[in-house]
Amino acid sequence: MEKVIRVVIVDDSAYVRKVVKEMLSRSPFLEVVGTARDGEDALAVVERLQPDVVTCDLIMPGTDGVEFIQRQMARRPVPIVVVSIASESSERVLNALDAGAVDFVQKPTALATEKMLDIAEQLIATVKAAAGANVARPQPPPTVAAAPRRDGFLNRHDVLVIGVSTGGPQGLKAVIPRLPADFPAPVAIVLHMPVGYTEAYAKRLDETSSLTVVEAKEGDEVRPGMVFVAPAGRHLTFRRDASGTVRTRLDVSPFDTPHKPSVDVLFQSAAETYGERVLGVVMTGMGDDGLAGSAWIKAKCGSVLTEAEETCIVYGMPRSVVEAGLSDESVPLHRLAEVIAERI
């Protein structure tokens, strides 16, 4: 039988605490063992109850959510799921992920209304996945020096495509800034994030990278030196124009996928556009987005790398690719940029 997951809820709104408890209680495998009204209260409650997972708002009086996460992860790492609203706290969410939060769920409203119940299914799935997360004490974000130029590349691939979900914002910071300025292929990334976060995340990643990182727009020229992050809510694909230049294409439909953007959609488009000259990378995340796309890449004789289990926050997406026999190599996060540069 599944183990019952013990949860603590942190939110300054009594109504939200009540509704989140009601939502989580719909699952027989989740038990809300305590609540806290702010970060300082949460530190004491978590110390006393030792929960398996904490859900945490970010905008609270006194010790806010980000400070709570920083202090809690320094004391005793515990899986923390941020539950917040994008329009008010996108930078706070990115800071929370940097501090060690495992994932986040976007509140549908800032108001104390029953619309909060709309996220019940997503919240339950996220909390259950977080309980199995490989949390570690977060290190201070390193000052990443520009990656050194290489003497040469194999030039076996014309594009690098990356798919990542839970743990992705942290994981990508260990990969993209370590790619050298003369990296010979464009990069396209699908990162599962709600609308309102990907542009801010791309700007933050660009600040520490030798390559230029942007949120993808319709019709961008896909060329070396560029890293395109798929915008939340839209699929990222490729197309060739009349001159043969590859450009980005943003689609809302007709793809029937649980995620938008979808790793599968990006990988399939890359395989159809570039054939055997695609290098795909599937990193940490729950579920199996990237499995079908990896099959497309392999069917066209391209290459696929997966993040090794020991460094994944959630070993779901990479596991699905490995177990299907589609991974050419499993690579720990700290070596991923190096291996990508060797194989490209």
Q: Which residues are catalytic?
A: 165, 192, 289
Strands (DSSP E) found in 178-301: 187-191, 212-215, 226-229, 235-240, 246-251, 278-282
Q: Among 240, 238, 228, which Cα is nearest to 190's?
A: 228
CA distances from 8 to 39, 50, 234, 316 (A): 12, 9, 33, 24
CA-to-CA distance for 208 and 32, rounded, in angstroms?
39
Contact assessment for residue 289 and residue 264, using Cβ atoms and an 8 Å cutoff: yes
Extract the tokens encoding 332. 């720990």
Q: Among 307, 246, 248, which Cα is nearest to 277's?
A: 246
**Integer-rounded Cα radius of gyration of the chain:** 20
Extract the tokens encoding 263. 């790793």
> Count of CB atoms within 10 A of residue 111's CB?
12
DSSP 8-class letter at 225: T
Q: Is 249 exposed, middle or buried (0-12, 13-18, 19+ CB in 10 A)?
A: middle
Q: Sign (positive/negative) of CA torsion 254, 258, 263, 268?
A: negative
Q: Among 316, 314, 326, which Cα is nearest to 271's?
A: 326
CA-to-CA distance for 92 and 95, rounded, in angstroms?
5
